[in-house]
Amino acid sequence: MKRRKIYFRADAGATIGYGHFVRSLALADMLKDDFDCTFFTKSPTDYQKKEAESVCNLVALPSDDSRFDEFLLYLNGDEIVVLDNYFFTSDYQKQIKDQGCKLVCIDDIHDRQFYADVIINHCINDCTSYVAESETAYFLGAKWALLRKPFLQEIRGKHDANHWVVIFGGSDPYNLSLPYALFIKSLIPDARLTIVVGDGYKNIDELGRIDNVTILNKLTADQIKDTFSSAAHVVCSSSSVCYEALACGCTIHAGYYVNNQVEFYQNLKAQGIIDPLENLLNHEPHVNLNYKSNHSNISFSDIANRYRQLFKALTFKIVNYTQMSEDESRKTWECRNLEEIRSCMVNPNPFSFESHCNFIKSLEFNSTRLYYALFDNGTFVSSFDFIDIKDDELAERGLFVNPQYFRQGIGNMMDTYFEGIIVKRGVHKIAAEVYKFNEPSCKYHLHQGFKPYNEDEQLIYLAKTI
C-alpha cells in the first residue's frame, strides 16, 4: 500500500531560532515509519542537515521570499502539509488548501485566521482564542508535546542535587546564559554547572572565562537527554526545552524573553510545573531553591502513538453528516442497516433511506449532536458521533465501523481525532454505552481508557476524562 506523503515546512536561523525546525522534525520522526515524510526549509545549516539525516529527506529552499511560491510547486494536492512558522499567512494557508491538501498548523500565537484541518499547540489547553474553520480539530497541551525521540522513552537518571544546567536555545540572542551562569555560581559556589548553547550562539568566549563551568555546544537530542538526566535543575526559557527537562524529571526554573513564550509560560506556571522567573529581560537573575514541581500527573509515553493515529485519520475524507452528498449519505445508511451493525445498536431495527435523510436534516440545528462519516476513496469506512453534548462538561460518543475495516485500528484512530473536535465545546469527559454481549467493544473501551461507572441488565456504562 502506497504511503501518504507528509510535507513539513519550517525555517530556522540565528534570528528566528531553531525551535520551529526542531519540533517539526520531532513530529516527522514520530511519523516516518508510517508516512513518506519530506522536510522543506530555507538554506539549511550543517546542523539542520545532520539532524534531518536520520529522519527524512531534506529539501533546501531559497533564502529569499521566492521560497514560499517554490514550495507550492511541489504540491500535487494529495499531501498532508505541516506548517510551523509565524510568517505563513492566512492567504498562504488557503493556497495550500485550495490545491486539495490536508493542512496541519503548529502554532503558539493564534494571531490570524486559520484554514487548517488541524491545529497543534502544546503550549495551551484552551482553543477559544483561535479563529478557524468550523471543522478544525485542536490538539493542545502537554499530551501533544512535540518531543524528540529520546524524551519519549522511559528515562531513569541519577540526578545530582548540585548539578545545574543553563540552556536558552541554539542562539540565545540576549545572551541570558552569561548572567544566569554567573548568578548560579555566586549563589552556589560549588555547583556543578553546565551551559548548553547552539551553533547560533556568539558569546562562547565570555562563558569560557567563568571558572569551573562545562560548556556544551551543538548537542544532539540524546546528549541533551543525558545531560538533563544527571542534573537536578534546569534553567531555561518557556519553550519545548521545558517539556524535555520535565521528561527527564528535572526541577525547572523558567521565564520568557519573547512574546510567543508568554502564553506557554503562564500555562506552565498555572500548572505548577516551573519555578516562575517572569520576564527574563526585566528581572535580575533569580531562582527559588525551595521550589517543588507539580508534574507527577504528566506522562509523555504515548505521544508518538497518538500522533500516528491523528495523521492516519487525515488520510481519510472526514465529513459532517449535514454536509454529505446524497451518495455518501446512502453509503452510510447502507452500512448502518447491516444486521451485524444494527444488532449492537440501541435501535436494532431496519429503517428507510428517507428516515435516514430526515434524521440528517434534524441535525442541522441541533447543537447537542455531532455526527461524522469517514470515506476511503469513496468507500464508507466508519461513523462517529457525539450526543447529549453539554458544553464545558461532557458528551456521549458512539461509533460503528464498516465490517470491511474491522481490526484495522479505525476506532482507535477516530477516538484520537475526534477528541480534537469536541475539545472546542469545552467537553472534558466522554461517556459511552456498550451492550454486555459485545465483548470486543467492551475490551476496546477499556483499552481506550474508559472506566465502567454503572450497568444494568443489558448495558455497561463507561466514561473517561480527556
Residue 192 maps to which CATH number?
3.40.50.2000
Which pLDDT score is estimated for 196? 95
Q: Model pTM?
A: 0.92
Do 34 and 169 share a domain, yes or no? no
Residues 73 and 9 in one domain: yes
DSSP track, 323-366: G--HHHHHHHHHHHTSHHHHTTSSS-S---HHHHHHHHHHHTT-
Residue 249 maps to a domain: yes
Q: For residue 61, give the 3-state DSSP assignment.
A: strand
Are residues 373 and 460 located together in one domain of the fold? Answer: yes
Instruction: Quickly list DSSP for 382-411.
Output: EEEEEEEEETTTEEEEEEEE-GGGTTSSHH
Could you give the number of structural domains in the chain?
Answer: 3
Q: What domain range includes position 442?
A: 316-465
The Cα 122–Cα 260 span in angstroms is: 13
| Claim to verify: residue 249 and residue 194 sit in the same structural domain | yes
Predicted local confidence at residue 1, as pLDDT: 54
| Cβ neighbours, 10 Å, residue 166 | 27
pLDDT digits over 314-339, tens only? 999 999 999 999 999 999 999 999 99
174 and 116 co-located in one domain: no
The answer to whether 44 and 61 have CB atoms below 8 angstroms apart is no
| Residues 114, 17 share a domain | yes
CATH number of the structural domain spanning residue 401: 3.40.630.30
Q: Are residues 264 and 189 in the same domain?
A: yes
- Give the sign of the dihedral formed by CA 123, CA 126, CA 129, CA 133: positive
- Return per-residue pLDDT of the chain as tens, 466 residues: 579 999 999 999 877 878 899 999 999 999 999 999 999 999 999 889 999 999 999 999 999 999 999 999 999 999 999 999 999 999 999 999 999 999 999 999 999 999 999 999 999 999 999 999 999 999 999 999 999 999 998 787 788 999 999 999 878 889 999 999 999 999 999 999 999 998 778 888 888 888 889 999 988 899 999 999 999 999 999 999 999 999 999 999 999 999 989 999 999 999 999 999 999 999 999 999 999 887 766 779 899 999 999 999 999 999 999 999 999 999 999 999 999 999 888 889 999 999 999 999 999 999 999 999 999 999 999 999 999 999 999 999 999 999 999 999 999 999 999 999 999 999 999 999 999 999 989 999 999 999 999 999 999 999 999 8
Asked if residue 80 is part of any domain, the answer here is yes
Is 250 a domain residue?
Answer: yes
Q: 104-154: per-residue pLDDT in tens?
A: 999 999 999 999 999 999 999 999 999 999 999 999 999 999 999 999 987
Domain identity same for 236 and 134:
no
Distances (CA, A) of 265 to 231, 252, 260, 405: 22, 12, 9, 43
Q: Are residues 325 and 365 in the same domain?
A: yes
Q: Is 298 within the bounds of a domain?
A: no
Write down which residue in 147, 176, 201 finishes a domain: 147
**Per-residue confidence (pLDDT) for residue 198, from 0 to 100:** 82
**Beta partners for 234?**
165, 252
CA 32, CA 38: separation in Å to the nearest integer? 9
Question: What is the distance between the alpha carbons of residues 218 and 227, in angstroms, rounded to a whole number?
Answer: 13
> Cβ distance 15 to 40 under 8 Å?
no
Q: What per-residue confidence (pLDDT) applies to 347?
A: 86
- Is residue 104 one of the residues assigned to a domain? yes
